[in-house]
A and B are shown apart, each in its own frame.
Chain A
Amino acid sequence: MTDAALPALADDPAAPAAASLAAKTRRRRALAYVQAAPMALVFAAFFLVPLLLTLVVSFWEYNEYEIIPSFTAQNYLDVFDGCLNVADPCTTVRTYLSTLKFCALTWAITLPVGFTVAYFVAFHVRSATVQMALFLVCTIPFWTSNVIRMISWIPLLGRNGLVNGSLIGLGLIDRPIEGLLYSDFSVVLAFVHLDTVFMIVPIFNSMARIDRSLIEAAHDAGASGWQILWHVVVPLTKPGIAIGSIFVITLVMGDFVTVGVMGGQQIASVGKVIQVQMSALQLPAAAANAVVLLGAVMLMIVAMTRLIDLRKEL
Chain B
Amino acid sequence: MTTPIKLSRRTLLRGAGATGLTLGAGPITGFPHVIAAEPVTLRYLGTAVNQSADIARKVKEDLGITLEYIPVVTDEVTKRVVTQPNSFDLLDTEFFSLKKLIPSGNIQGMDARRIQQADNITPIFTKGEIDGRKIGDQGTAPKKVFYLEGQSSRAFAPSPTEWITLIPTTYNADTLGIRPDLIKRPVTSWRDLLNAEFKGKASILNIPSIGIMDAAMVIEASGDYTYPDKGNMTKAEIDRTIKVLIEAKRAGQFRAFWQDFNESVNLMASGETVIQSMWSPAVTKVRSQGVACTYQPLKEGYRAWASGFGLPKPLAGRKLDAAYDFINWFLSGWAGAYLNRQGYYSAVPGTAKAHMEPDEWAYWMEGKPAGKDIKGPDGSVLEKAGAVRDGGSFEARMGSVACWNAVMDENTYMVRKWNEFIAA
**A residues in contact (CB < 8 Å) with B:** 1, 64-66, 78, 81, 90-91, 94-95, 98, 154-155, 158-161, 178, 181-182, 260, 264-268, 272-273, 276-277, 279-282, 285
Contacts and interface: CB of A to CB of B under 8 A. Distances in A.
Contact of A181 (B272, B411, B423): B272
A276 B415 contact: yes
Contacts of B73: 279
A268 B100 contact: no
Contacts of A276: 208, 415, 418-419, 422
Interface of B: 2, 73, 75-76, 78-79, 82, 99-101, 103-104, 200, 206, 208-209, 249, 254-259, 266, 270-272, 407, 411-412, 415-416, 418-420, 422-424
Contacts of A277: 415, 419
B419 A273 contact: yes
Contacts of A272: 419, 422
Nearest to A260: B259
Contacts, number: 91
Contacts of B208: 276, 280
Contacts of A90: 420
Contact of A281 (B2, B100, B416, B420): B100
- Please classify the interface of chain A as helix (H, G, I), strand (E, B), loop, or mixed, using the class held by over half of its residues: loop
Given A280-B411, A281-B100, A266 B418 contact: no
A263 to B, nearest CB: 8
Given A66-B82, A276-B208, A280-B411, A158 B270 contact: yes
A159 to B, nearest CB: 6
27 contacts: A1-B2, A64-B103, A64-B411, A65-B100, A65-B101, A66-B104, A90-B420, A91-B423, A95-B423, A159-B270, A160-B271, A182-B255, A182-B256, A265-B206, A265-B259, A266-B256, A266-B257, A267-B422, A268-B423, A273-B422, A276-B415, A279-B76, A280-B415, A281-B75, A281-B100, A282-B415, A285-B412
Contacts of B271: 159-160
A256 to B, nearest CB: 11
A152 B82 CA distance: 37
A78 B419 CA distance: 12
B257 A268 contact: no
Contact of B256 (A95, A160, A264, A280): A264
Nearest to B258: A265
B411 A279 contact: no
